[in-house]
């Protein structure tokens, strides 16, 4: 469970162009559920996602992940918490060009000092589960959009996190692939994972597998979304 | 510990892959770096082995040399002085030496003319010459060397041997002849010598005996072997130091270049670091990886350039640097130095190159490493 | 000044590492004034990020000090031919009054940097930077040491003239002088050796007790420091005699020469490492009571203690072996 208490995130703090991306926000995300953050671009939903995923620290307020207060953790512990808890799928996938699919999937575990054979085996298993094992040794720039996203999902799952975080996952996919993506998400939910996504794609937030839809506007949660 | 090693291995693997992905840029950097190291290493290897050569050579030189000084200039010393010196307790094998310079108008070269020790006597009418002289005059064993005295008299001497090339650095311009020929050639009376040399029975007493000699021969200058050694040492170190200081300028600009290269991360590199941080790499992971990058580049370039410099100095006679370091001479020695690597020198060079490079890249690396993990999502 | 490449390299190295410590200390004063972990402000974030840079700097400075310590002694060794009367490093170091103080300052700086890094490592294991003020306070305290080390070294090299007649180890390390080194060399051999082994035994007793019961950390830190001094004294007064197999050759540097199979490195390296780890373990143990550190620090201190004991054991083994194998019999 992830709980926000009166969280504010200010960018360019102290400067003239300072603005509050998130303002005094309270929020609860339940475990084993699928939560979608929706809202127009610039509404602060991506910032909210980064705060949920521990990628950024709030300017004020408290965030609890699994009952643990994470706001004032030093970076190395915040990162450790992130490694243990979250897997990220980015809108533009953010795969590293020039590396193979397998290498990209192994990235999150690279600095942890685990034996590489073992990591490689786990990465293979994931690629198999997502049906792209045949592309394991291809460079990522040769992949199609769907394959790239599967690679990104595999990378997000390599550290076996309880929470998957996805930013506009269907933005770069056609309808068929978007449905395929939702199938994968459903499968993950069935395995007991928590999923948090941002999306303004109705295909996503209107999906029946989604448990909670949170509308964000101007850094706040809209109580009566249209 | 195991985890630590595995972590470093993974990071190094990743770094190497990253370096290869940006081949052109990194090879360019390494090329510039190697150039700097190559020049520095050549200078240091070269002067070091020259110094070594000189000290080896001096090791069997006599411990004390006595020169007569008149009006502050080196003058010929008389036989009576030799007798005085021989009588000093502790002095051994005191003997007079005959040597001097001769300007050969035929090819504008300076020869060193010398009478060898009693051990290798040369018959009258014969000479042994250094390889440089042989080259300049196109002489072989058995041919004749013609020298004109300053009074215009022609001397005809048969070449009985050419000095071995191993000691060419010092013997290149040497012409060895018998004492009689020498005195005749320079029209020297029979009771004078260029200078006196002697050995000392107990090496700890060198200073004491040198003092005694100055006392009995107040018009002379007494030089001990250690003096010469010291002079050589500081002369070579000084030259090396000056050159390094000059090259330091080059080094500085290179470091600025390195700073610039590292701090001016390309957009794709920033993106890459952002991705790494987003997928769970920690600041210190990025720092470690980037440090490995610096170390691999600098150490790689260092080893490569040092090897090149080694080959250059010891197998190609430092062709690129000889004129600077040895001074100019027409009878230019062609010689091979004895290969020698001095750990102190390697460490010094490391301090000069790898150390400032890594230091210069620390701040840029850190700047890159603190990129917010959420940058890739903005 | 003598324009020598090694000297230039040493000065360059000292300039860089002193600059790094200076930056660290300036930053440290900011930390002491403004550190507030509970704040999520940009200022706090920036400070936290800068701690990474400072630890990297200190790591770099430590490595540089270690290398320059070696280079300094090694260079003194090689330059000794340029000085009348010098036969080894001692003569070069003795060529002016700054030579030995520089060496001692370098050794102190090395131990300080090592201690700082150990504290830093311990601090990084906790969730709330419990030692941060302590750590940066210490860094500020290191600054004058770093500055004076750099200053001493600079004065040493600036005042180095080859026409000075210096004395060699046989003169400095002889019993009839009136300085500390002479005192060390002049110690009765049996007494010095006895004292050395008593110190070693005490160190192991205190160390093992600390390792097993986790009590007496201050004593252990003290024992490490005392053992270091006792060991250096013993090396000068008696161990060197055994190595050189000569009843009057008391030099601590000639040990590093190839003639003696570089045994000096094998003696000094474990001694330095053991001392650094031992003082570090003893110092860190004072922080075990801090709640956020309790868990990780106990293990870390244990590992340091063990490593220190092993290093000193190796040191003791090598020294004893050298004495045993020596052809010289003093008693």
Q: How far apart are CA B160 and CA B142, in angstroms?
A: 6
For residues A85-94, give the mean pLDDT. 90
Which chain B residue is nearest to residue C163, measuring alpha carbons?
B230
Which residue in the block uniquely carries the two structure tokens 């030496």? B97
Task: pLDDT band for B331, please (50, 70, 90 cuts).
Answer: very low
Q: Which residue has the higher pLDDT, B338 or A84?
A: A84
Q: For chain B, what is the mean pLDDT?
A: 80
Residue C45 contacts B, CB cutoff 8 Å: no
Contacting residues of A for C129, CB less than 8 Å apart:
74
Residue C315: predicted pLDDT = 95
Task: pLDDT band for B322, please (50, 70, 90 cuts).
Answer: low
Q: How far apart are CA C42 and CA A13, in angstroms?
A: 7
Contacting residues of B for A157, CB less than 8 Å apart:
none
Cross-strand pairs, B75: B68
With a cut of 70, say whether residue B263 has pLDDT above it. Answer: no
Residue A113 contacts C, CB cutoff 8 Å: no
Contacting residues of C for A73, CB less than 8 Å apart:
127
Task: Quote the minimal CA–CA distance from A60 to chain B in Å.
Answer: 18
**Residue A164 — φ and ψ, nearest 5°?**
-105, 135
What's the per-residue H, E or C state across chain B?
CHHHHHHHHHHHHHHHHHHHHCHHHHHHHHHHHHHHHHHHHHHHHHHHHHHHHHHHHHHCCCCEEEEEEECCEEECEEHHHHHHHHCCCCEEEEEEECEEEEEECCCCEEEEEECCCCCCCCCCCEEEECHHHHHHHCCCCCCEEEEECCCCCEEEEEEEEECCHHHHHHHCCEEEECHHHHHHHHCCCCCEECEEEEEECCHHHHHHHHHHHHHHCCCEEEEEHHHHHHHHHHHHHHHHHHHHHHHHHHHHHHHHHHHHHHHCCCHHHHHHHHHHHHCCCCHHHHHHHHHHHHHHHHHHHHHHHHHHHHHHHHHCCCCCCHHHHHCCCCCCCCCCCCCCCCHHHHHHHHHHCHHHHHHHHHHHHHHHHCCCHHHHHC
Q: How far apart are CA B359 and CA B54, in angstroms?
A: 37
Point out the residue among B242, B245, B344 whose CB comes nearest to the CB of C74: B344
Task: pLDDT band for C179, please (50, 70, 90 cuts).
Answer: low
Which chain C residue is nearest to residue A7, measuring alpha carbons?
C40
Q: Which CATH architecture does the domain made up of B62-223 adopt?
A: Beta Barrel (2.40)
Region of residue B173 (phi > 0: left; psi between -120 and 50: alpha; otherwise: beta): alpha
Least confident of C78-87, C114-123, C272-281: C78-87
Residue C288: predicted pLDDT = 86
Put simply, the answer to whether B351 touches C71 (Cβ < 8 Å) is yes
How many CA atoms are closer than 13 Å to the CA of B80, on its beta-carbon side? 2
Residue B167: predicted pLDDT = 58
Q: Is residue B167 classed exposed, middle or buried when 0-12, 13-18 and 19+ CB atoms within 10 A define those classes?
A: middle
How many CA atoms are closer than 13 Å to the CA of B198, on its beta-carbon side? 27
- Chains contacting C (3+ CB pairs below 8 angstroms): A, B
Put simply, the answer to whether C128 touches A58 (Cβ < 8 Å) is no
Give C32's contacts (C-beta < 8 A, 6+ positions apart).
C133, C136, C137, C140
Which chain C residue is nearest to residue B353, measuring alpha carbons?
C9
With a cut of 60, say whether residue A195 has pLDDT above it. Answer: yes
To which H or E segment does residue C53 belong?
helix C42-79
Residue B328: predicted pLDDT = 42
Q: How far apart are CA B105 and CA B102, in angstroms?
A: 9
Nearest to B46 by CA among B310, B268, B238: B310
What is the pTM for the complete model shown? 0.80
Instruction: Show which of residues 4-33 on chain C sit within 8 Å of chain B, judged by CB atoms.
Output: 4-10, 12-13, 16, 20
With a cut of 90, say whether residue A106 has pLDDT above it. Answer: yes
| Chain B residues contacting C via beta carbons under 8 Å | 44, 55, 226, 229-230, 233-234, 237-238, 240-242, 244-245, 248, 283-284, 287, 291, 343-345, 347-352, 355-356, 358-359, 362-363, 366, 369-370
Walk across the sheet containing A19-29 and list its strands. Answer: A19-29, A2-11, A60-65, A68-69
For residues A19-32, give the mean pLDDT. 91
Q: What share of chain C is helix, strand, coil (3-state, %, to 5)?
A: 80, 0, 20
Residue B329: predicted pLDDT = 44
Contacting residues of A for C49, CB less than 8 Å apart:
75
Give A167's contacts (C-beta < 8 A, 6+ positions apart).
A46, A49, A88, A89, A90, A91, A197, A198, B377
Interval B170-227: pLDDT, tens: 677 888 888 888 888 888 888 899 888 888 877 777 778 888 888 888 888 888 887 7
Put simply, the answer to whether A57 touches C40 (Cβ < 8 Å) is yes
For chains B and C, what is the number of CB pairs under 8 angstroms?
Answer: 93
Sign of the torsion formed by the C-alpha atoms of C86, C90, C93 and C99: negative
Task: pLDDT band for A215, please (50, 70, 90 cuts).
Answer: very high
Please give the DSSP secondary-structure letter assigned to residue A96: P
Task: Quote the minimal CA–CA distance from A172 to chain C in Å.
Answer: 34
Contacting residues of B for A111, CB less than 8 Å apart:
7, 10-11, 281-282, 285, 288-289
Put simply, the answer to whether B377 touches A112 (Cβ < 8 Å) is no
Q: Measure the CA angle with vertex C46, ends C42 and C47; round to 5°.
A: 120
Cross-strand pairs, B114: B99, B176
For residues C313-329, give the mean pLDDT. 89
Query: How many beta carbons lie within 10 A of that of residue A18, not counting itself?
Result: 12
Nearest to A163 by CA among A129, A190, A188: A188
With a cut of 70, say whether residue C132 has pLDDT above it. Answer: yes
Interval C22-66: pLDDT, tens: 999 999 999 899 888 777 777 888 888 899 999 899 889 888 888
| Beta strands A163-167 and A60-65, pairing class | unpaired
Structure tokens at B373: 């993990």
| Beta strands B195-200 and A68-69, pairing class | unpaired
- Chains contacting B (3+ CB pairs below 8 angstroms): A, C
Task: pLDDT band for B330, please (50, 70, 90 cuts).
Answer: very low
Residue B4: predicted pLDDT = 86
Q: How far apart are CA A212 and CA C174, in angstroms?
A: 86
Residue C12: predicted pLDDT = 87
Put simply, the answer to whether A72 touches C41 (Cβ < 8 Å) is no
Q: At CB < 8 A and 24+ separation, what contacts does B283-286 make?
A: B283/A75, B283/A76, B283/A79, B283/B369, B283/B370, B283/C49, B283/C52, B284/A76, B284/B369, B284/C52, B285/A111, B285/B11, B286/B368, B286/B369
Please give the DSSP secondary-structure letter assigned to residue C285: G
Q: How far apart are CA A149 and CA B164, in angstroms?
A: 76
If you average pLDDT over each of A186-200, B136-150, C161-175, C255-269, which comes out highest? A186-200
For residues A155-183, give the mean pLDDT. 91
Query: Where does chain B hold its CATH 2.40.40.20 domain(s)?
Result: 62-223
Distance spanning both ends of chain C, measured CA to CA: 46
Q: Which residue has the higher pLDDT, B295 or C329?
A: B295
| Predicted-complex ipTM score | 0.91
With a cut of 60, say whether residue B327 has pLDDT above it. Answer: no
Instruction: Tell me what percent of the residues of chain C surpass a pLDDT of 70.
Output: 90
Contact yes or no for C106/C64 (Cβ under 8 A): no
With a cut of 80, say whether residue B158 has pLDDT above it. Answer: yes
With a cut of 70, say whether residue B246 has pLDDT above it. Answer: no
Interval C215-239: pLDDT, tens: 888 999 999 999 999 999 888 888 8
Task: Quote the minimal CA–CA distance from A137 to chain C in Å.
Answer: 36
Interval C96-122: pLDDT, tens: 888 889 999 999 999 999 999 999 999
Residue A88: predicted pLDDT = 92
Instruction: Tell me what percent of the residues of chain B surpass a pLDDT of 70.
Output: 84
Task: Quote the minimal CA–CA distance from B292 to chain A in Å.
Answer: 13
Interval B88-146: pLDDT, tens: 888 888 888 888 888 887 777 788 888 887 666 788 888 888 888 888 888 888 888 88
Point out the residue among A13, A71, A76 whose CB comes nearest to the CB of C41: A13
Instruction: Show which of residues 288-317 on chain C sit within 8 Å of chain A, judged by CB atoms.
Output: none
């Amino acid at each position: 469970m992830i709980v926000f208490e009166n969280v504010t995130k200010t960018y360019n703090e102290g400067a003239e162009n300072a603005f509050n991306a998130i303002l005094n926000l309270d929020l609860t995300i339940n475990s084993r559920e699928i939560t979608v953050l929706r809202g127009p671009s610039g509404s602060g939903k991506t910032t909210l996602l980064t705060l949920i995923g521990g990628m950024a620290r709030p300017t004020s307020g408290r965030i609890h992940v699994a009952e643990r207060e994470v706001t004032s953790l030093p970076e190395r512990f915040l990162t450790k918490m992130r490694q243990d808890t979250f897997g990220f799928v980015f809108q533009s996938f953010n795969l590293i060009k020039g590396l193979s699919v397998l290498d990209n999937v192994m990235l999150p575990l690279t600095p942890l000092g685990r034996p590489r054979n073992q990591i490689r085996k786990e990465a293979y298993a994931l690629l198999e589960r997502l049906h792209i094992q045949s592309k394991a040794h291809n460079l990522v720039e040769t992949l199609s959009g769907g394959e790239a996203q599967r690679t990104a999902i595999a990378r997000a799952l390599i550290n076996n996190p309880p929470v998957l975080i996805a930013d506009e996952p269907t933005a770069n996919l056609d309808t068929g692939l978007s449905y395929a993506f939702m199938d994968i998400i459903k499968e993950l939910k069935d395995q007991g994972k928590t999923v948090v996504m941002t999306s303004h794609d109705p295909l996503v937030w209107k999906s029946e597998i989604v448990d909670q839809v949170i509308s964000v506007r101007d850094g706040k949660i809209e109580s009566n979304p249209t | 510990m195991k985890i630590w090693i595995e972590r470093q291995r993974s990071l190094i693997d990743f770094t190497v892959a990253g370096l290869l992905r940006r081949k052109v840029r990194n090879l360019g950097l390494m090329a510039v770096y190697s150039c700097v190291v190559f020049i520095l290493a050549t200078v240091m290897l070269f002067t070091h082995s020259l110094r070594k050569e000189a000290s080896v050579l001096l090791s069997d030189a006599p411990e004390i040399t006595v020169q007569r000084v008149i009006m502050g200039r080196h003058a010929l010393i008389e036989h009576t002085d030799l007798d005085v010196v021989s009588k000093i307790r502790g002095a051994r094998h005191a003997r007079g030496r005959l040597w001097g310079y001769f300007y050969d108008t035929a090819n504008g070269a300076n020869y060193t003319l010398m009478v060898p020790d009693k051990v290798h006597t040369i018959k009258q009418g014969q000479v042994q010459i250094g390889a440089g002289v042989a080259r300049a005059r196109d002489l072989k064993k058995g041919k004749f060397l013609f020298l004109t005295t300053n009074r215009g008299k022609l001397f005809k001497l048969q070449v009985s041997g050419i000095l071995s090339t191993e000691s060419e650095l010092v013997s290149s311009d040497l012409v060895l002849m018998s004492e009689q020929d020498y005195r005749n050639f320079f029209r020297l009376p029979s009771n004078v010598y260029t200078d006196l040399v002697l050995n000392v029975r107990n090496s700890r007493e060198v200073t004491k005996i040198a003092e005694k000699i100055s006392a009995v021969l107040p018009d002379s200058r007494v030089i001990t072997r250690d003096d010469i050694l010291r002079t050589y040492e500081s002369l070579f170190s000084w030259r090396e130091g000056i050159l390094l200081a000059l090259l330091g300028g080059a080094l500085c600009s290179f470091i600025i270049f390195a700073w610039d290269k590292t701090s001016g991360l390309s957009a794709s590199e920033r993106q890459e670091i952002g991705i790494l941080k987003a997928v769970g790499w920690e600041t210190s992971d990025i720092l470690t990886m980037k440090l490995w990058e610096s170390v691999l580049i600098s150490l790689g370039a260092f080893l490569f350039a040092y090897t090149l410099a080694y080959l250059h100095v010891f197998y190609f006679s430092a062709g690129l640097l000889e004129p600077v370091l040895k001074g100019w001479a027409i009878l230019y020695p062609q010689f091979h130095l004895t290969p020698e690597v001095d750990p102190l020198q390697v460490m010094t060079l490391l301090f000069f190159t790898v150390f400032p490079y890594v230091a210069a890249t620390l701040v840029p690396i850190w700047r890159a490493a603190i990129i917010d993990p959420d940058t890739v999502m903005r | 000044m003598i324009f020598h490449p090694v000297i230039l390299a040493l000065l360059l190295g000292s300039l860089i590492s002193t600059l790094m410590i200076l930056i660290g200390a300036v930053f440290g004063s900011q930390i002491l004034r403004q550190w507030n972990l509970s704040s999520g402000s940009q200022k706090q974030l920036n400070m936290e990020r800068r701690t990474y840079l400072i630890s990297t700097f200190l790591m770099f400075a430590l490595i540089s000090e270690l290398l320059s310590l070696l280079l300094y002694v090694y260079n003194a060794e090689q330059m000794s031919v340029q000085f009348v009367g010098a036969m080894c490093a001692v003569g070069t170091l003795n060529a002016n009054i700054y030579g030995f103080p520089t060496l001692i300052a370098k050794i102190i700086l090395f131990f300080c940097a090592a201690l700082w890094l150990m504290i830093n490592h311990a601090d990084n294991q906790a969730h709330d930077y419990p030692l941060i003020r302590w750590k940066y306070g210490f860094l500020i305290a290191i600054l004058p040491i770093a500055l004076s080390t750099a200053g001493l070294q600079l004065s040493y090299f600036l005042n180095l003239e080859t026409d000075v007649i210096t004395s060699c180890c046989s003169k400095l390390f002889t019993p009839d002088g009136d300085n500390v080194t002479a005192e060390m060399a002049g110690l009765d051999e049996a007494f010095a050796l006895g004292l050395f082994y008593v110190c070693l035994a005490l160190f192991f007793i205190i160390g093992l007790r600390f390792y097993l019961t986790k009590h007496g950390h201050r004593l252990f830190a003290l024992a490490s420091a005392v053992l270091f001094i006792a060991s250096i004294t013993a090396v000068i007064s008696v161990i060197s005699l055994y190595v050189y197999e000569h009843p009057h050759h008391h030099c601590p540097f000639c040990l590093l020469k190839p003639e003696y199979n570089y045994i000096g490195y094998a003696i000094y390296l474990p001694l330095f490492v053991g001392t650094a780890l031992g003082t570090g373990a003893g110092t860190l143990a004072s922080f075990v009571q801090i709640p956020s550190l309790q868990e990780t620090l106990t293990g870390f201190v244990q590992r340091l203690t063990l490593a220190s004991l092993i290093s000193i054991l190796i040191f003791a083994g090598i020294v004893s072996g050298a004495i045993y194998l020596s052809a010289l019999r003093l008693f």
